[in-house]
Amino acid sequence: MNTQKLLNLRVPVVSLVQKCGLKHYQAPPKYDHVEFPEKPKLKYIDKVPQLPAAIKPPKMQKNLKLMRGPEPVHNFLLHKQYGIMALCGGRIKWGHFEMMRLTVGRKMDLNRMFAVWRIDSPWQPITKKGQGQRMGGGKGAIDHYVTPVKAGRIILEIGGKCEFAEVKKFLDDISNKLPFRATAVSQQMLDEMNAREQWQEENNQNPYTMKYVIQNNMGGCRKWLKPIDLKYFGKYT
């Protein structure tokens, strides 16, 4: 049967070159730059800070400024891979440390991954009086210790020979169990967030920003604003 008869019968002609063409796959990523620490697992965190024998554990005030505002120092990934970032201020108890340590230890592949803490062990004492006691009588006894964190603080990091899709599921699980809003981030996500924030600030066409409104006391807004709003202009609560 020649080509003319095939065209008359309207039979599609398929070329073997089109059917068996070569496919170009993307090269796998290289992890030559990754440096593994001596201990890949998250270390155990003490429930109570270790003090010398002659020192009585001191009590503290609430000191809410330890949780307010942005994190000025520990707001980036040391290993430039993946981690958990706090979206607002809060306090982390010892139980949350254990939850994170055990979850990461179960889900992480120790042959090609590692995890490191980016926050201190619980150090701020929280006092509490017994149930049914009357007001007065001085400050209560120390009940437990916490670690205060600010918005933008990196809580832990995970790295190694892995992709973000492999660790995102259990990092999101940990983030949902923390007592404040947090999220799993990668270095690419942090770069995009910083670039987007800078672009919005440079290309904003509305002159009446929150900072402008508060500084010029438009509508007498300073009568009902908090001192924290006068400092951060409503950005951090």
Highest average pLDDT, of 8-17, 76-85, 225-234, comes from: 76-85
- Whether residues 210 and 123 share a domain: the answer is no
Q: What percent of the chain has pLDDT over 90?
A: 73
Tens-place pLDDT, residues 134-148: 889 899 999 999 999
Predicted confidence (pLDDT) at residue 199 exceeds the cutoff of 60: yes
206-213 long-range contacts, Cβ below 8 Å, gap at least 24?
209/233, 210/234, 210/235
Q: List the beta bridge partners of residue 84.
A: 156, 184
Q: How many Cβ atoms from other residues are within 10 Å of residue 229's Cβ?
A: 17
- pLDDT, position 24: 76
Q: What is the pTM of this model?
A: 0.84
- pLDDT, position 204: 92
Contact of 89 with 228, CB cutoff 8 Å: no
Has residue 5 been placed in a domain? no
Predicted confidence (pLDDT) at residue 194 exceeds the cutoff of 80: yes
The CATH number for 109's domain is 3.90.1170.10
DSSP string over 184-232: EEEHHHHHHHHHHHHHHHHS---S--HHHHHHTTGGGGGGT--HHHHHH
- Whether residues 214 and 196 share a domain: the answer is no
Has residue 133 been placed in a domain? no
Closest of 29, 27, 24 to residue 163, by C-alpha? 29
Full residue range of the structural domain in which residue 186 is found: 30-128+138-203
pLDDT band with cut points at 50, 70 and 90 for residue 4:
low
132: left (phi over 0), alpha (psi -120 to 50) or beta: left
The count of structural domains within the chain is: 2
Residue 171 token pair: 């990092």
Predicted confidence (pLDDT) at residue 17 exceeds the cutoff of 80: no
- Whether residues 81 and 166 share a domain: the answer is yes
